Amino acid sequence: MKTIVAKFKHNCEDKLGKYMDESDYDLLVEDDMDFYAPITEIGRAQPSEKECIFMFRKNRFTVEEQASAYEGLVNAAQPTQNRGLAAGPKGERQGGRNWCDESQIEIMEYLIKGEQTSLFGRIEDPIAEIKKRHASYEVPKDARGIVWIKSKIEQEGYDYETFFETKLEEILALPEYKQSAAAKDLFEKYVSNTTYANQVLSGIAGFFDRYPRIPWGRATSYTEHHRETYEKCYPFMRKLSSEFQRLLPERFNVQNEAAAKLDPRFRVAGEDTPFTTVTVNKNFRTSAHRDAGDLHAGFSNLSVIAKDKEWEGGYLVLPEYRVAINIRPGDLLLINNHDGIHGNTELVPPEGKALEDMERISLVCYFREKMLELGSWEYESLRRKFVYERSKDCTHPLYRPLWNGVSPSMWDKNEWFSYLEKTGGKDMLDRYHPQKEVSTLDEFF
Ligand SMILES: [Fe+2]
């Protein structure tokens, strides 16, 4: 087994957001290796876990384990998630097209399908929910490469900026049985047949922390809606966890102790795994970036799964150390993605195949640091329910159409404390809000 301790770390801040190529590395790693940053402590000759940049191990996952991850997670990679900087250089992505944004596409899809499936059944307003979800994080406008025919919209006397909302209001004013056809008509008439895909296929499985606009801990949408399929990835996740423990015991322990503070239902495969979240990328060439949101003292765990194994390129480059890793299906890479800048070289499909016809799926399993703010599964579910019930309550003083049910400091008010006591019990109220007393006087004054 080869161990390398880097002599330098190059400054590569200027490479952030750019694609990596052969000029960004000198060493291509294709066999087992431990790689460390320069040792900064005087007098110590041997590197420690503190300096570890990556550990690479060939063929660590059995065919069965790979299949389990494939079945469980392949469909989590959808062309809808925001990957910000990682999604590629800006100039190559935009080009001034009139993109249909992701929330508009999802609203049209929802109306065309004409059905709603949700934990909360019919009390939920799905269009408000789609808007709310998209307002909370930025999806690249060109994620699906679909564009409006602006000339047609303007020819018919609409203002391009307000066109979609105007049309949406018209459709929603129709009787329900006519809405699907009207949405289809909108799509067929004003959306171009040509797509300009620079598709980013990326998704999140497992669990996620609170956002300002989604202020409850939860399963990601993929995990919530495909729970049985998702659970097939457990054998893979358990193996990943045991390899992590064996190779980097100190990092593992810190991460595992953090994970032990969570409700085990927020861990990817329950108590056996110190991860909360899995990023699933399909054929996705990331530009140089650092990962955010993971536990600093922990480590990311990366692997690749695929049906085809014949592609070339797609190396993971660490430009600061001028090293690239050729990670193939079944390999394991433990990597410090949080501190280290990383991105991929171009992915080259096997001869005779297009990129769309091949599959290279990378899985990044990590512990989201902000998950530590969460209460129990039940407590977080009540927060969700509270927000939904508020958003639907037209007698609420803050109610307005399309209200998402969220308001400033709502979690420090009597309205929430009373709701929590009523639905979760006094013990839960005392546990999560020990300082607060439910008082009617407070409301009165
Ligand atoms: Fe990354």
The pLDDT value recorded for residue 87 is 55
**405 Rama class: left (phi>0) / alpha (psi -120 to 50) / beta:** left
Tell me how far the alpha carbon of residue 338 lies from the centroid of ligand 1, in angstroms: 8
What is the distance between the alpha carbons of residues 435 and 112, in angstroms, rounded to a whole number? 49
The pLDDT value recorded for residue 123 is 40
91: in domain = no
Convert the chain into a string of H (helix), E (strand) and C (coil). Answer: CEEEECCCCCCCHHHCCCCCCHHHCCEEECCCEEEECCCCCCCCCCCCHHHEEEEEECCCCCHHHHHHHHHHHHHHCEECCCCHHHHCCHHHHCCCCCECCHHHHHHHHHHHHCCCCCCCHHHCCHHHHHHHHHHHCCCCCCCCCEEECHHHHHHCCCCCCCHHHHHHHHHHHCCHHHHHHHHHHHHHHHEEEEECCCCCEEEEEEEECCCCCCCCCEECHHHHHCHHHHHHHHHHHHHHHHHHHHHCHHHHHHHHHHHHCCCHHHCEEEECCCCCEEEEEECCCCCCECCCCECCCCCEEEEEECCCCCCEECCEEECCCCEEECCCCCCEEEECCCCCCEEECCEECCCCCCHHHCCCEEEEEECEHHHHHCCCHHHHHHHHHHHHHHHHCCCCCCCCCCCCCCCCCHHHCHHHHHHHHHHHCHHHHHHHCCCCCCCHHHHHC
The pLDDT value recorded for residue 350 is 83
Instruction: Say if residue 111 is in the same domain as residue 32.
Output: no
What is the distance between the alpha carbons of residues 47 and 4, in angstroms, rounded to a whole number? 9
The pLDDT value recorded for residue 118 is 43
96: in domain = no
Tell me how far the alpha carbon of residue 193 lies from the centroid of ligand 1, in angstroms: 33
86: in domain = no
The pLDDT value recorded for residue 194 is 67
Tell me how far the alpha carbon of residue 397 lies from the centroid of ligand 1, in angstroms: 44
Instruction: Say if residue 37 is in the same domain as residue 131.
Output: no
The pLDDT value recorded for residue 54 is 96
pLDDT tens digits for range 312-353: 999 999 999 999 999 999 999 999 988 889 999 998 888 888
Instruction: Say if residue 73 is in the same domain as residue 189.
Output: no
Tell me how far the alpha carbon of residue 387 lies from the centroid of ligand 1, in angstroms: 32
Instruction: Say if residue 251 is in the same domain as residue 331.
Output: yes
CB 208 within 8 A of CB 220: yes
> Number of folded domains in the chain?
3
Instruction: Say if residue 239 is in the same domain as residue 364.
Output: yes
Instruction: Say if residue 245 is in the same domain as residue 342.
Output: yes
Tell me how far the alpha carbon of residue 352 lies from the centroid of ligand 1, in angstroms: 29
Tell me how far the alpha carbon of residue 161 lies from the centroid of ligand 1, in angstroms: 35
pLDDT > 90: percent of the chain? 53
CA dist list (Å): 164 to 22, 110, 133: 44, 15, 18
Q: Is the pLDDT of residue 94 over 50?
A: no
CB 399 within 8 A of CB 382: no
Last residue of one domain, picked from the residues 357, 373, 389:
373
Instruction: Say if residue 216 is in the same domain as residue 318.
Output: yes
Tell me how far the alpha carbon of residue 394 lies from the centroid of ligand 1, in angstroms: 43
Mean pLDDT of 122-138: 69
Tell me how far the alpha carbon of residue 132 lies from the centroid of ligand 1, in angstroms: 26
Tell me how far the alpha carbon of residue 378 lies from the centroid of ligand 1, in angstroms: 32
Q: Nearest to residue 192, comparing CAs of 258, 97, 60?
A: 97
The pLDDT value recorded for residue 27 is 97
Last residue of one domain, picked from the residues 160, 175, 195:
195
The pLDDT value recorded for residue 88 is 53
Tell me how far the alpha carbon of residue 26 lies from the centroid of ligand 1, in angstroms: 21
pLDDT tens digits for range 173-194: 998 888 889 999 998 899 887 6
Tell me how far the alpha carbon of residue 290 lies from the centroid of ligand 1, in angstroms: 6
Q: Is the pLDDT of residue 90 over 50?
A: no
The pLDDT value recorded for residue 23 is 97
**Poorest-confidence range of 38-42, 225-229, 269-273, 332-336?**
38-42
The pLDDT value recorded for residue 258 is 95
Instruction: Say if residue 322 is in the same domain as residue 357.
Output: yes
Mean pLDDT of 196-224: 84
pLDDT tens digits for range 383-415: 999 999 999 999 999 998 888 899 988 999 999
Higher pLDDT, 437 or 108: 108
Tell me how far the alpha carbon of residue 292 lies from the centroid of ligand 1, in angstroms: 8
Tell me how far the alpha carbon of residue 381 lies from the centroid of ligand 1, in angstroms: 30
163: in domain = yes
Tell me how far the alpha carbon of residue 337 lies from the centroid of ligand 1, in angstroms: 6
Instruction: Say if residue 214 is in the same domain as residue 298.
Output: yes
Tell me how far the alpha carbon of residue 353 lies from the centroid of ligand 1, in angstroms: 26
What is the distance between the alpha carbons of residues 371 and 218, in angstroms, rounded to a whole number? 10
The pLDDT value recorded for residue 121 is 45
28: in domain = yes
Instruction: Say if residue 265 is in the same domain as residue 319.
Output: yes
Tell me how far the alpha carbon of residue 276 lies from the centroid of ligand 1, in angstroms: 16
CB 196 within 8 A of CB 97: yes
The pLDDT value recorded for residue 137 is 53
Tell me how far the alpha carbon of residue 285 lies from the centroid of ligand 1, in angstroms: 10
Tell me how far the alpha carbon of residue 342 lies from the centroid of ligand 1, in angstroms: 6
**pTM of the complete model:** 0.73
Instruction: Say if residue 281 is in the same domain as residue 157.
Output: no
187: in domain = yes
Provide the CATH number for the domain around residue 356.
3.60.130.30
The pLDDT value recorded for residue 119 is 44
Tell me how far the alpha carbon of residue 269 lies from the centroid of ligand 1, in angstroms: 22
Q: For residue 418, what pLDDT band results from cuts at 50, 70 and 90?
A: very high
The pLDDT value recorded for residue 145 is 66
89: in domain = no
pLDDT > 70: percent of the chain? 87
| Token pair in block for residue 292 | 């955010």
What is the distance between the alpha carbons of residues 296 and 91, in angstroms, rounded to a whole number? 32
92: in domain = no
Instruction: Say if residue 285 is in the same domain as residue 349.
Output: yes
Mean pLDDT of 23-35: 97
CA dist list (Å): 277 to 12, 134, 198, 281: 28, 20, 25, 13
Tell me how far the alpha carbon of residue 281 lies from the centroid of ligand 1, in angstroms: 10
What is the distance between the alpha carbons of residues 71 and 51, in angstroms, rounded to a whole number? 35
The residue range of the domain holding 111 is: 102-138+146-195
Last residue of one domain, picked from the residues 373, 390, 424:
373
Rounded to the nearest integer, the mean pLDDT of the chain is 86
Amino acid in the structure at residue 44: R
Q: Is the pLDDT of residue 220 over 70?
A: yes
Q: Which phi and psi angles does 443 have, rounded to 5°? A: -65, -40
Tell me how far the alpha carbon of residue 289 lies from the centroid of ligand 1, in angstroms: 6
Tell me how far the alpha carbon of residue 431 lies from the centroid of ligand 1, in angstroms: 36
The pLDDT value recorded for residue 112 is 84
